[in-house]
Structure 1
Amino acid sequence: MPDLNLDRYFHRIGYAGERTPTLETLRELHRRHAESIPFENLDSLLRRPVRIDLDSIQRKLVEEQRGGYCFEQNGLFSAVLEAIGFRLTRLAARVVYTGDPHAFPPRTHMLIRVDLGDESYLADVGFGGMVQTGPLRLAVDVEQSTPHEPFRMIRWENDYLMQASIRGGWVPLYRFTLDPQAPSDYEVGNWYVSTYPESLFVNHLMASRPAPGVRYALRNNELAIHHLGGNTERRTLRTADEVREALRDLMQIRLPEGAELEALLERLANSPSY
């Protein structure tokens, strides 16, 4: 079993609280992780392998101060929670965000069930632009507040459907079951989203990070700054330098070096969003 460096992880997210498996600890870790480690898919765009073993995830997200997507984010977060003493189950979901909740896309999203006493919670620090910033109690038809938008779960056919409250309406995010997943399930899902020619992660830049009172989101060269309860600022980034600055300053990504990245930034600045 690879070693997990909790001290380095806590430094990365700015956490100095208790290391005990309580709801208060879970909430604080969840918020700090989501606000400190951005969602991004640069490796897939650069045609670099995305490795989801714990050593690789720690090196990338903690030591190199990069971001990642769900298999990396929730892979790291679940390992941290286990090391502290939380009881958890790793789950998978079908993403239906902006699509048809009746659809059955492949299970390409990882999330975590955390059991605390008689209650169960869903932790998820890897859902891109609509990432939860706090754990949600596993309860249906209950609106639940987070440091950002409210969320809720409903029963949907034989699944659960996660929804977020966006501009006054409930928007479907993903559908999931409580079936435990094996590491091989995530390896298959990770390979699919990072290499399949039609995968969004292979063809479009997606980077995002929540901060207090705001969400930053970058899709190709379209930057959006969503102010909670207020307006949304939108701007098209026209140069590679502008894309680089958004990734570095707003998403807080320590960018990899090399000619490949420079070529990608130029391409993004001159390509339409989707």
Structure 2
Amino acid sequence: MANGDPGFDLDAYLHRIGVTGRPAADVTSLREVHRAHLTAIPFENIDPVLGRVPSLAEADLLAKLVHSGRGGYCYEHNTLLGAALGALGFGVRRLTARVVVGAERHETRPRTHMALLVDVPGDRRRHLADVGFGAPGALVEPLPFVADAVRTAAGRSHRLTRTRGTGPLDLWALDARGAAGWETQYVFTEEPFERSDIEVVNWHIATHPRSPFRSRLRICRTGPDGSVAVLNGTTLTRTPPGASGTVREVLGRDELHRVLHEEFGITAPEDLTAAVRPAEPAG
């Protein structure tokens, strides 16, 4: 389990996510911090789209996601959350997962997602925490690490199921319930990954020519009314809690920066529009 960095600016982080006071290292605070982070800091992959590898150094994450009002993708979000939880006194283990939404076989997907396994002092239950999924099936609050236990928060229901994988460790699946029933979001084992492992995966996913994070802009914010997202720089979508429907709006070439500022609080680099080349509205 990772330990907290004594130099981590916890006060600035808590201010950014709107949490007052100093949360205790208990389940209630874990849920509060997780939900507040997810709501306050958007998911975005602007840097990889612009050909830049996001830094996972805690000072750089604080500068970008906390002080500059930007967001990030899973490695940035969950590295930042892990540092904050460690500073609050929680035990944190880094996990990697295979995103399998729409996949016929789990084994065909690489481990390109990061999540956290959290130990709460004085509590035998561990929790899966993840504020970097960037999709309607994302966790709103940490999920107790118990097979088949359903938890609902902000209109979203999740559960963990456990099966025997191809290796020696049990394979866990995070399922989200939508309009069509349960759908697996990603699968993972409990094997811990070190910071150096995450650094390598982060570089690969930000630079590989076939990586969707390099080629397709995705920005997402989760709130009490569901999620709002910009896809490919051309479409604004709104999805109610439970992923029961989506409203789509085509964005014009000159609208992207305005939408990012108004919907997500992001002041994007000036060269973003040229990089994603948004389509003109139809008609």
Q: Give the TM-score of the pair, scaled to structure 1.
A: 0.92
Q: Secondary structure at the match of 1:50?
A: coil
More displaced, 16-25 or 64-73? Answer: 16-25
Q: Deviations over 1:89-141 (max 9, x none)?
A: 11111111222353342211111111121111101000012321100000111
Label 1:94 to 1:271 Cα distance change in 2 as closer, same or farther (>3 A).
farther
The answer to whether 1:65 aligns with 2:69 is yes
Q: Number of matched residues?
A: 268
Q: Deviations over 1:14-50 (max 9, x none)?
A: 1104421011101110111001000000001111221
Q: Where does residue 248 of structure 1 map in the other structure?
A: 261
The answer to whether 1:163 aligns with 2:175 is yes
Judge conservation of contact 1:34–1:131 (CA < 8 Å) in 2: no
Amino acid at match of 2:80: L
Matches within 5 A, 1:20-31: 20-31=24-35
Q: Where does residue 99 of structure 1 map in the other structure?
A: 103
Within 2, Cα distance between the matches of 1:25 and 1:202? 35
The answer to whether 1:269 aligns with 2:276 is no
The correspondence for 1:201, drawn from 206, 213, 216, is 213
The answer to whether 1:239 aligns with 2:253 is yes
Label 1:271 to 1:163 Cα distance change in 2 as closer, same or farther (>3 A).
farther
Unpaired runs of 5+ residues, structure 2, are 166-170
The correspondence for 2:128, drawn from 116, 119, 122, is 122
Q: Secondary structure at the match of 2:196?
A: helix
Judge conservation of contact 2:141–2:153 (CA < 8 Å) in 1: yes
Q: Deviations over 1:175-216 (max 9, x none)?
A: 001111011110111011100000001110111011112211
Label 1:100 to 1:188 Cα distance change in 2 as closer, same or farther (>3 A).
farther
Judge conservation of contact 2:226–2:241 (CA < 8 Å) in 1: yes
More displaced, 183-192 or 66-75? Answer: 183-192
Q: Secondary structure at the match of 2:278?
A: helix
Unpaired runs of 5+ residues, structure 1, are none
Label 1:48 to 1:22 Cα distance change in 2 as closer, same or farther (>3 A).
same
TM-fit CA distance, 1:75: 0.2
Amino acid at match of 1:261: L
Matches within 5 A, 1:45-56: 45-56=49-60
Judge conservation of contact 1:133–1:148 (CA < 8 Å) in 2: no
Within 2, Cα distance between the matches of 1:148 and 1:247? 25
The correspondence for 2:85, drawn from 64, 74, 81, is 81
Judge conservation of contact 2:69–2:266 (CA < 8 Å) in 1: yes
Q: Could you list the runs of 4 or more consecutive aligned residues of structure 1 that deviate by over 4 angstroms after TM superposition?
A: none
Q: Give the TM-score of the pair, scaled to structure 2.
A: 0.89
Q: Secondary structure at the match of 1:90?
A: strand
TM-fit CA distance, 1:264: 2.7
Q: Secondary structure at the match of 2:153?
A: coil
Q: Where does residue 218 of structure 1 map in the other structure?
A: 230
Label 1:262 to 1:223 Cα distance change in 2 as closer, same or farther (>3 A).
closer
TM-fit CA distance, 1:157: 3.2
Within 2, Cα distance between the matches of 1:148 and 1:124? 17
TM-fit CA distance, 1:149: 0.9
RMSD: 1.9
Q: Secondary structure at the match of 1:155?
A: strand
The correspondence for 2:40, drawn from 36, 41, 47, is 36
Q: Deviations over 1:198-253 (max 9, x none)?
A: 00011101110111122112211121101226642111112232x22222221222
Q: Where does residue 168 of structure 2 map in the other structure?
A: none
Judge conservation of contact 1:34–1:125 (CA < 8 Å) in 2: yes
Within 1, Cα distance between the matches of 2:38 and 2:105? 25
Amino acid at match of 1:248: H
Within 2, Cα distance between the matches of 1:44 and 1:92? 19
